[in-house]
Amino acid sequence: MSESKKRIGILTSGGDCPGLNAVIRGAVRAASTMNWEVIGFLDGYEGLLSPVRYQVLDRQSTAGIMHLGGTILGTTNKGHFITKVGHGDKTGLDPAVIAQTKETMAGLGIECLICIGGDGSLSTAQQLFEAGVKTIGVPKTIDNDIDATAMTFGFDSAVACVVDALDRLHTTARSHKRVMVLEVMGRYAGWIALHGGLAGGADVILIPEIPFDYEVINQVLLAREAEGTFSSMVVVAEGAKPKDGDYFTRHIAGTHGETALGGAGEQVARSIAEGTGKETRSVVLGHLQRGGNPTALDRILGTRFGVAAVDLAVAGQFGSMVSYQNYLVGSVAMIDAISKIKRVKPESQMVQTCREVGISFGEA
Ligand code: F6P
């Protein structure tokens, strides 16, 4: 590494998603075009702490990675930099962690840190910024639930995975005259279920933003049967919940009592089988939605986000987050993106479109 060049740090934090490597590659190429150097910290923010772990990134070391899922830098979901402890609960960063971060950056001569992450990781970036660390955020998540950006990379790849699953489930459902229930990810937002369900030809889509009624779902499926359609497809967001009910959660194996969203699909399938008498099967798509190669759209969006993050760094616009609006990549204040998550609006055009093609949201 040359002593004279300015340096940018970059890291990927939180759950992985397709397109992370496209962001890294885009940032490294843009930086090299501007004669800046890039240091990639390993395993998310954790790489900033002693023993400091990083890799010098250049055009050679990031060649041939754009099409790969995951992240070449590794990531950490929970660790010393956690600022969100649950649904909406926030906590402050340990001052010792902030001090070590500043020390590492000063030691390596790093001007600013590009933090690629979801709302929790961006909250960390914001807290570091408020503590005097120059950070720039890049919104990442398959859930598409980050506010102040129309879209995050990774979402399109996850939706493509849902559609592929539904295409496969349609043929077996039709052969057996069955109801297939597909549970998809998305946390407390229904974007993946909504877009995947519409593109995959679902008959019922259950999302967190529209509490559902078990009986209404049964009536919809029985009405289809009465009309002569004997197989049906139900997409259930993991965060879907019944009216007057709560989120479905499950224990995470290998932890001491930690829970995560899950089980909605199985419960809905059970209720359908009992309420309609139809043979019903449920499938949990799970982490297949997070793995694999990014779609063309996510490669392009990721590259554009990486380049834009470097542009912000060079322009000294710290505390900002790359944002995608009206087909253009710009920026917003990071604080505006993390104050709340972006959820599906029940009155939105997308939901209305679904209703008009006959998709039920299971509401009374
Ligand atoms: O936020 C991305 C996401 O895949 C959610 O859709 C899902 O609820 C969660 O992460 C799963 O997290 P983990 O990989 O820790 O099981």
Query: Ligand 1 centroid vs 185 CA: distance in angstroms?
Result: 7
Atom of ligand 1 minimally distant from the CA of 261: 8
Residue reference for tokens 């950006």: 149
Query: Ligand 1 centroid vs 189 CA: distance in angstroms?
Result: 12
Query: Ligand 1 centroid vs 101 CA: distance in angstroms?
Result: 26
Is the Cβ atom of 143 under 6 angstroms away from ligand 1?
yes
Query: Ligand 1 centroid vs 139 CA: distance in angstroms?
Result: 15
Atom of ligand 1 minimally distant from the CA of 118: 1
Query: Ligand 1 centroid vs 87 CA: distance in angstroms?
Result: 13
Residue nearest atom 4 of ligand 1, based on CA coordinates: 185
**Token pair for residue 39?**
């240091």
Is the Cβ atom of 205 under 6 angstroms away from ligand 1?
no
345 class by beta-carbon count within 10 Å (0-12 exposed, 13-18 middle, 19+ buried): exposed
The verdict on whether 213 is a catalytic residue reads no
Q: Specify the pLDDT at position 90.
A: 73
Q: Specify the pLDDT at position 119.
A: 93
To test the ligand 1 pocket, which listed residue (17, 85, 187, 236) has its Cβ within 8 A of the most ligand atoms?
Answer: 187
Backbone angles phi, psi at 96, to 5 degrees: -65, -35
Which residues partner with 56 through β-bridges?
A: 39
Residue nearest atom 9 of ligand 1, based on CA coordinates: 187
> In whole angstroms, how far apart are CA 220 and each of 59, 203, 208, 227, 353?
55, 9, 19, 11, 18
Q: Specify the pLDDT at position 245.
A: 95
Is the Cβ atom of 140 under 6 angstroms away from ligand 1?
no
Q: Specify the pLDDT at position 255.
A: 85
To test the ligand 1 pocket, which listed residue (75, 85, 142) has its Cβ within 8 A of the most ligand atoms?
Answer: 142
Is the Cβ atom of 261 under 6 angstroms away from ligand 1?
yes
Which residues partner with 322 through β-bridges?
A: 331
pLDDT by position in tens, the chain (length 364): 555 789 999 999 999 999 999 999 999 999 999 999 999 999 999 999 999 999 999 999 999 999 999 999 999 988 999 887 666 667 899 999 999 999 999 999 999 999 999 999 999 999 999 999 999 999 999 999 999 999 999 999 999 999 999 999 999 999 999 999 999 999 999 999 999 999 999 999 999 999 999 999 999 999 999 999 999 999 999 999 999 999 999 999 888 788 899 999 999 999 999 999 999 999 999 999 999 999 999 999 999 999 999 999 999 999 999 999 999 999 999 999 999 999 999 999 999 999 999 999 999 8
Question: Closest Cα to residue 8, out of 97, 112, 101?
Answer: 112
To test the ligand 1 pocket, which listed residue (76, 290, 341, 342) has its Cβ within 8 A of the most ligand atoms?
Answer: 290
Is the Cβ atom of 342 under 6 angstroms away from ligand 1?
no
Atom of ligand 1 minimally distant from the CA of 252: 16
DSSP readout, 89-118?
-B-PPPHHHHHHHHHHHHHHTEEEEEEEE-
Catalytic hit among 119, 143, 203, 298: 143
Helix, strand, coil shares of the chain as percentages rounded to 5? 40, 20, 40
Is the Cβ atom of 186 under 6 angstroms away from ligand 1?
yes
To test the ligand 1 pocket, which listed residue (123, 185, 252, 261) has its Cβ within 8 A of the most ligand atoms?
Answer: 185
Q: Specify the pLDDT at position 8.
A: 98
Cα distance between residue 7 and residue 241, in whole Å? 47
Q: Specify the pLDDT at position 86.
A: 64
Buried b (16+ CB within 10 A) or exposed e, 162-172: bbebbeebbee
Query: Ligand 1 centroid vs 226 CA: distance in angstroms?
Result: 38
Query: Ligand 1 centroid vs 199 CA: distance in angstroms?
Result: 22
Query: Ligand 1 centroid vs 31 CA: distance in angstroms?
Result: 31
Is 122 in contact with 305 (CB distance < 8 Å)?
no
Q: Specify the pLDDT at position 171.
A: 98
